[in-house]
Amino acid sequence: MTRVVRYPEGSVLLRSLGRALPVISHGEGIYLFDRDGKRYVDASAGALVASVGHGNREVADAVHAQLLRVGYVNGTQFTSEATEALAARLAAQVASELPGFGRARSAFLCSGSEAVEAAVKFARQLWMERGEPARAKVVARVPSYHGNTLYALSASGRPHYRTLYGPLLSSVLATPAPYPYRCGFDDYAKGGAEHYARQLEALIENEEPRTIAAFIVEPIIGSSAGAAVPPPGYFERVRSLCDRHGILIIADEVLCGTGRCGAFFASHLTSLDPDVIVLGKGLGGGYAPLSALLVKQPHLDEMRRGSGYFQHAQTYLQAPFMTAAGLAVLEYFERHDLVRRSARIGARLLGRLSEQLLPLEHVGCVQGLGLLCGVEMVADKATRAPFPRERKVAERLTAHFFERGLIVWPNVGQADGTSGDLFMIGPPLVIDEEQVDDLVDALARAIKEFTP
């Protein structure tokens, strides 16, 4: 095999048709190594996936052992020890951090997009079981991201997707997401909750509340707003508003959950009391495709008294090789105290990023929680003006980092739907203090060398 692949070489349908991709040989902890021996610091855990690091023998051995027993069964016909054990562990975690959720039941799928689709279908079916067929609308926030399948993409508050896929997408209601750097008022912490809750309330009342099934939110926004944390009191107001109008809340924790932000559930950190929870990415740690839909026992009891089943299934529903990976990841979390470690080392990461990057000419903001941080680049710090989109600052900066062996996750459009450049830092949760310091030093040097 060649050391680098560039289209039209090979037979893989590459996402980028104009970029050379190094061939990775192996990984270890927070590092990846290509066939030339070059080392990369995986500062974004891939796509915020590699929670327990690369080359984790404990997790790999557990998946291997499960594959030797049985890798796949039809989830509508059988269950398995691994699947039951993972569901029980998640139920215990919910009881510990989100006691208002009650007893949790989990379904396991292959990706966050699939789980979001299942969550929306669950909400819709629940209203049908309750005899309220008019409740079909979903409210989402802008900016936000919920996945790449068609309904999940419809609910993603990124306007540029509609330019390409508009005729294929569903109509989803949109309300502004809390975004401290671009909120437009002086005291985000003091006035933010009321400001954004009022906008949501106006939307609900304008649309007729009894036509709305659910409100889908990221407790801490991912790359769409650079790890933006909501203002104090925001989700308490949202919960009260949704309760008043009978609207279910879906917490999309695919990116920010599973210990990433310093608690197992980001909802716990942001005082969100959801009706449905979606997990993914770090839950499987990159050792198997895995996501989870968590629902409340009383909601399932309603379905049991009605139609008798949740009308959703996919080929790899509850597959034991997937759930064995999730179980092994969570057992590794417990043995190595990774959730509390994420909070502790994440505080160091955010502090060091703020200290070293904020003084730089084009760094507008540094924000985040735990081991999830975002850095926004701007043309003018005084006015917070973004770079013109045609300059592709996020893409060029990411390539600049990549050449220096630093992997981050870029995004664009957060400033106005088109312009805006940011990058995300979310390393594996096994990163240590010395590695954090080395990473931040390397990022600072690379930004100083970069010409926007």
What are the tens digits of pLDDT across the range 87-116?
A: 999 999 999 999 999 999 999 999 999 999
The residue-averaged pLDDT of 198-212 equals 97
Q: What whole-number distance in Å separates Cα of residue 181 and Cα of residue 109?
A: 35
**Does residue 275 contact residue 294 with C-beta atoms inside 8 Å?**
no
Per-residue pLDDT, 1: 66
pLDDT of residue 155: 96
30 & 98 share domain: no
What pLDDT is attached to residue 238? 98
**Residue type, position 221, single letter:** I
Per-residue pLDDT at 6: 93
Residues 332 and 382 in one domain: no
Residues 169 and 257 in one domain: yes
Of 104, 107, 105, nearest in space to 95 by CA: 104
Residues 16 and 152 in one domain: no
Q: What is the DSSP string of 297-330?
A: HHHHHHHHHTTSS-----TTTT-HHHHHHHHHHH
Of 283, 316, 336, which residue is a domain's last?
336
Q: 356 and 271 in one domain?
A: no
Helix (H, G, I), strand (E, B) or coil at 107: strand
302 plus 187 within the same structural domain = yes
Backbone torsions φ then ψ of 39, nearest 5 degrees: -100, 135
Q: Please, which pLDDT band fits residue 161 given cuts at 50, 70 and 90?
A: confident
Say yes or no: 18 and 73 in one domain.
no
Q: What is the pLDDT of residues 397-430, one digit of tens each?
A: 999 999 999 999 999 999 999 999 999 999 999 9
Residue of 157 and 343 predicted with greater confidence? 343
pLDDT at 157: 86
CATH of the domain at 191: 3.40.640.10
Query: Long-range contacts: 237-242, Cβ < 8 Å, 24+?
Result: 237/193, 237/194, 237/197, 238/197, 238/200, 238/272, 239/272, 239/273, 241/197, 241/200, 241/201, 241/204, 242/215
- Kindly state whether residues 264 and 387 are assigned to the same domain: no
Same domain (yes/no): 162, 238: yes
- Render the burial of 135-173: b for 16+ CB within 10 Å, e for the rest: bbbbbbbbbbbbbeeebbbbbbbbeebeeeeeeebeebb
Single out the residue in 310, 336, 362 at which a domain terminates: 336
Model pLDDT, residue 159? 78
Q: The whole model's pTM is what?
A: 0.97
Residue 31: pLDDT over 70: yes
CATH classification at residue 22: 3.90.1150.10
Tokens of 127: 């209203």
The number of folded domains in the chain is 2
| Mean pLDDT rounded to a whole number for the chain | 97
Do 167 and 69 lie in one domain? The reply is yes
> Of all helices (H) and strands (E), which one includes residue 70?
none
Question: What tokens appear for 389 in the block?
Answer: 């989109």
State the pLDDT at residue 418: 92
Q: Which domain holds residue 162?
A: 63-336
Domain identity same for 210 and 222: yes
pLDDT of residue 160: 77
Going by pLDDT thresholds of 50, 70 and 90, the confidence category of residue 189 is: very high
Is residue 196 left, alpha or beta, with left meaning phi > 0 and alpha meaning psi from -120 to 50? Answer: alpha
> Tens of pLDDT along 346-405?
999 999 999 999 999 999 999 999 999 999 999 999 999 999 999 999 999 999 999 999
Q: For the residues 5-30, what does the mean pLDDT come to?
A: 94
Name the maximum alpha-carbon separation found in the chain.
64
Is the separation of the CB atoms in 228 and 179 below 8 Å? yes
Q: Please, what is the end-to-end C-alpha distance for the chain in angstroms? A: 36
For residue 8, cis peptide bond before it (omega within 30 degrees of 0): yes
The whole-number average pLDDT for the span 435-440 is: 98
Domain identity same for 325 and 423: no
**Domain end marker among 280, 313, 336:** 336
